[in-house]
Amino acid sequence: MSFDQSTPPQPNPAGQVVNVATPTVKPIVTYVLLGLTVFVFILQSALKLVTGYDLLFIYGGKINEAILAGELWRLLTPALLHSSILHIAFNMYALFILGRRLESIHGHWRFLMLYLLSGFGGNVLSFVLSSYPSLGSSTAIFGLLAAEGVFIFQNRRLFGQRSQAMLSNVLVILFINLLIGFSPGTNIDNFGHLGGLLAGFMFASLGGPKWVVEGVAPFVSINDSRKKNEVIFAFLVVLAGFIVMAAIPFFA
């Protein structure tokens, strides 16, 4: 993990000005996810135009009957599919904003874990609690929102008085989006959103960055105290929990 030495100097409790370096990485995974999702949407639209059928949705969307028939990839692939330009534009804008910020502090692999778990968790909860077909990366986006909130809360001492306003902003965004989802006639997969939210919250709580201040003034850095094995453990625990949840309809 690299460090951003361009961070403006900050005063320490004693009133001295110190140079603070915060951990950052370039959001490569975010850009790859953006490019891949847009490419899939272009392919999806082209096939629909040529054949008259939404073939990628037919073979990759969240369709409960197909999942029960053994097509388990449908618990993840819907995160790459979208129903319209407006649908993908909204989700990709959210990924662009949230992804760059979260990947810069989570690192490449942990951010990818977060995104995949959130997408998987959202589709699993939708599979268990909703019989309607669905698609879209908003399952993963809600997981990113949850992780943003958890990160701010777990590191609130470093953010100081700003933490309350930052948390309030995340909660307002979540509330508005959930409210829209539960409004009559919106045709939104609310269980998918809630599942992504839950998966992102669980993973971030167990394996998200926990910053600590290290060094001696005027050279102070902020480092992540979370160990690699903690991150892997968090990923496996959350994954196992949703796999167990996904198995429920097979035995119902």
**Residue 167 or 186, more confident:** 167
Return phi, psi of residue 18, to 5°.
Answer: -125, 155
Q: Which residue has the tokens 């690699």?
A: 228
Domains and CATH numbers, the chain: 2-251 (1.20.1540.10)
Q: Residue 21: pLDDT above 90?
A: no
Strand partners, 213: 222
Distance of CA 177 to the CA centre of its chain: 15
Q: Is the pLDDT of residue 12 over 70?
A: no
Residue 40 has pLDDT above 50, yes or no: yes
- CB 235, CB 242: distance < 8 Å: no
pTM for this model (two decimals)? 0.88
Active site residues: 138, 193
Q: Give pLDDT, residue 77.
A: 97
Reported as type and span, the H/E element at residue 2 is strand 2-4
